[in-house]
Chains A and B, each alone.
Chain A
Amino acid sequence: ETGVTQTPRHLVMGMTNKKSLKCEQHLGHNAMYWYKQSAKKPLELMFVYNFKEQTENNSVPSRFSPECPNSSHLFLHLHTLQPEDSALYLCASSQAAMDSNYEQYFGPGTRLTVT
């Protein structure tokens, strides 16, 4: 595997379910990000992890719970979601989240539908 991978690619869940999204980067990066991309809305940064430490939580509801066990893996745990949470969830990584000159590498995303 190369680059940034995300599983599953598609997920349908009910509002009472609990599920997790997984992201893995094979680039040797130290920073990882979660974004939400909804139709007709700009890309929304959710969380940033730098060297496994969370450095940004962009006022995300607690029904989204991130986990970063090491610099290569990032999870987004989901519970009691709402229909408006349906979106494409993108994971990205970069060399570090301390400087602003590092580009981000994105995974293909998980298309989440909440029913």
Chain B
Amino acid sequence: AQSVTQPDIHITVSEGASLELRCNYSYGATPYLFWYVQSPGQGLQLLLKYFSGDTLVQGIKGFEAEFKRSQSSFNLRKPSVHWSDAAEYFCAVGTNAGKSTFGDGTTLTVKP
């Protein structure tokens, strides 16, 4: 069965610092991978997705993610974090029948 692991429950970074959020997946076939962001009291918003091709994908709000098949990872990165990036981030793998399996989420706190 497919699964997604986000090893970091909570991360704190200073504004302007770089960010990397980790995601590891387990899936038997070629994965479809997504990162979503959820601000407090809101639904999830898609940041970026990977289906095939270039393993480095660009998303909205200056985020990027790199797919590494050998490591079963799809880590999210941003070179310089802004205070408005404070939110919860979810990694997900697309599975059969259009369902997505979500990780438990990583809460990002940004220090001024």
A residues touching B (Cβ–Cβ < 8 Å)? 4, 6, 31, 42-43, 45, 48, 50, 55-56, 90, 92, 94, 96-109, 111
Contacts and interface: CB of A to CB of B under 8 A. Distances in A.
B99 A97 contact: yes
Contacts, number: 64
B89 interface: no
A55 B36 CA distance: 24
A101 B97 contact: no
B48 to A, nearest CB: 9
B87 to A, nearest CB: 13
B41 to A, nearest CB: 7
Interface residues of B, number: 23
A106 B45 contact: yes
A6 B57 CA distance: 31
A111 B40 CA distance: 12
Interface string B28-44: 00001010100001111
B59 to A, nearest CB: 11
B43 A50 contact: no
B8 to A, nearest CB: 15
B104 interface: yes
A99 B46 CA distance: 17
Contacts of A101: 32, 49, 51, 94
19 contacts: A4-B43, A42-B104, A42-B105, A43-B102, A50-B98, A55-B97, A56-B97, A97-B99, A100-B32, A100-B94, A100-B97, A100-B99, A100-B100, A102-B98, A103-B49, A104-B100, A105-B46, A106-B44, A111-B41
A43 B36 CA distance: 12
Given A94-B98, A108-B41, 11 more contacts: A42-B103, A42-B104, A43-B90, A48-B97, A100-B94, A100-B97, A102-B94, A103-B49, A104-B44, A106-B45, A109-B41
